């Protein structure tokens, strides 16, 4: 009878772990989708979300508005990478992750320039130029490293 209980407990724990893996993937999917939708909404809409309490006091045409749109690009990139991680069987390389983060942050920065038209401040322009240079550098180094991989193993 002891052997039967051990088998029952083993089979039950394997089944429970399989269910927990699906629950965890579902949770990560919802978080990734929420980050992607909310980040895109904040980044691409002319007005901030009125029902989200953190954005109540933010006025357009301020440095804070441009900063919030820039950070929303990070949320879009994080949500995309999380969804890609869940559904992809291949490993996502660190260089690719950094390129996506930098690219979507720049998209958020440019959306801030478009919607918040109080004039371009010097630190925003400098941050955008440095971001573009960083993105170019990440892309060049990432391509260079991919060309170094030896496929004749």
pLDDT of residue 55: 66
Q: What is the pLDDT of residues 58-87, one digit of tens each?
A: 777 777 777 787 888 888 888 888 888 778
Q: What is the pLDDT of residues 30-69, one digit of tens each?
A: 988 988 998 888 888 777 766 666 666 777 777 777 778 7
Pairwise pLDDT comparison (13 vs 104), residue with the higher score: 104
Q: Which residue blocks in the chain are alpha helix, DSSP H?
A: 2-44, 63-87, 94-115, 122-148
- For residue 29, is pLDDT > 80? yes
- For residue 27, is pLDDT > 70? yes
Domain boundaries, the chain: 2-148
CA angle 65, 66, 70 (to 5 degrees): 115
Q: What is the pLDDT of residues 85-100, one digit of tens each?
A: 778 776 667 778 888 8
The pTM for the full model equals 0.64
Query: CB-hemisphere CA count at 13 Å for 49?
Result: 15
126-130: average pLDDT:
85
Hey, is 69 helix, strand or coil? helix
């Amino acid at each position: 009878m002891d052997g039967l209980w051990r088998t029952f407990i083993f089979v039950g724990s394997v089944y429970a772990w399989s269910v927990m893996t699906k629950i965890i993937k579902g949770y990560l999917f919802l978080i990734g989708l929420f980050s992607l939708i909310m980040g895109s909404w904040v980044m691409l809409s002319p007005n901030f979300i009125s029902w989200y309490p953190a954005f109540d006091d933010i006025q357009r045409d301020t440095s804070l508005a441009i900063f919030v749109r820039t950070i929303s690009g990070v949320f879009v990139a994080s949500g995309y990478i999380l969804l890609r991680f869940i559904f992809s069987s291949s490993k996502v390389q660190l260089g690719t992750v950094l390129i996506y983060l930098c690219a979507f942050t720049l998209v958020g920065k440019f959306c801030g320039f478009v919607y918040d038209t109080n004039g371009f401040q010097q630190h925003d322009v400098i941050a955008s130029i440095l971001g573009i240079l960083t993105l170019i550098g990440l892309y060049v180094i990432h391509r260079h490293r991919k060309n170094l991989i030896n496929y004749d193993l």
